[in-house]
């Protein structure tokens, strides 16, 4: 991922310092990310993607898209949130018009500090536990096996107010995190 960020930054004519300043992070962090010496948080990746004017998960796209792609569980891309206690692994291969993510939200955690939006459609399926999906300020409580579909252009986030972790699956089209 670091090489991809470096390539995108240089294609846009940005210096390392310019990208760092625009993303609100240190130049040292960007340098470490570009050299694959640091794993950036989900929030840092969102900021970098916004500066580069890209959907977040396009930073993870594979350059050579296969017609049939197998994603091995032990080879999935992992993304963590710095504060919310959420982790995502990419189930889909990282190219195409559909993104599939497996998420885990720790007790008391949230997918984002504040609801946010992106130009997609999204569906979440609870695999284990209880999940609250907040869309436009309205909370929708989901139990294991329940799903929720919504327009991701509406401000949204996922919450786990319970005492146990919740596992869920997200599909988004087009990918635009």
Digit-coded pLDDT (tens) for 30-43 = 999 998 888 788 78
Direct distance between the N- and C-terminal alpha carbons of the chain, in angstroms, rounded to an integer: 16
* Sheet containing 131-135: order of strands: 138-142, 131-135, 156-159
Nearest alpha carbon to residue 149 among 129, 166, 125, 117:
125
Band of pLDDT at residue 80, cut at 50, 70 and 90:
confident
The pLDDT value recorded for residue 62 is 60
Q: Kindly report the CA angle at 119 between 118 and 125, in degrees rounded to 5?
A: 75
Contacts with 164 (C-beta within 8 Å, 6 or more apart), sequence order: 107, 129, 130
Whole-angstrom distance, CA of residue 126 vs CA of residue 167: 6
Which domains occur in the chain, in start order?
Answer: 2-54 (1.10.260.40), 73-173 (2.60.120.10)
The whole-number average pLDDT for the span 100-120 is 91
The whole-number average pLDDT for the span 133-150 is 97
Band of pLDDT at residue 58, cut at 50, 70 and 90:
confident
- Which has the higher per-residue pLDDT, 58 or 45? 45
Query: Mean pLDDT score of the chain, rounded to an integer?
Result: 88
The pLDDT value recorded for residue 65 is 58
Assess contact for 155 and 116: CB atoms under 8 A: yes
Residue 59 has pLDDT above 80, yes or no: no
């Amino acid at each position: 991922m670091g090489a991809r960020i470096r390539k995108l930054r240089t294609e846009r004519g940005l210096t390392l310092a310019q990208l760092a300043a625009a993303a609100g992070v240190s130049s040292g962090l960007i340098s470490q990310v570009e050299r694959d010496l640091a794993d950036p948080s989900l929030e840092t990746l969102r900021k970098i993607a916004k500066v580069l004017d890209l959907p977040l998960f396009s930073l993870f796209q594979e350059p050579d898209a296969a017609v049939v792609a197998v994603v091995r569980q032990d080879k999935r891309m992992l993304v963590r949130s710095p504060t919310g206690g959420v982790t995502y692994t990419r189930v889909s291969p990282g190219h195409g018009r559909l993104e599939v993510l497996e998420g885990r939200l720790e007790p008391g955690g949230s997918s984002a500090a504040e609801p946010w939006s992106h130009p997609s459609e999204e569906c979440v399926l609870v695999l284990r536990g209880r999940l609250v999906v907040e869309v436009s300020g309205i909370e929708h409580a989901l139990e294991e096996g329940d799903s929720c579909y919504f327009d991701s252009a509406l401000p949204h986030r996922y919450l786990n107010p319970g005492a146990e972790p919740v596992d869920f699956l997200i599909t988004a089209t087009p990918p635009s995190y």
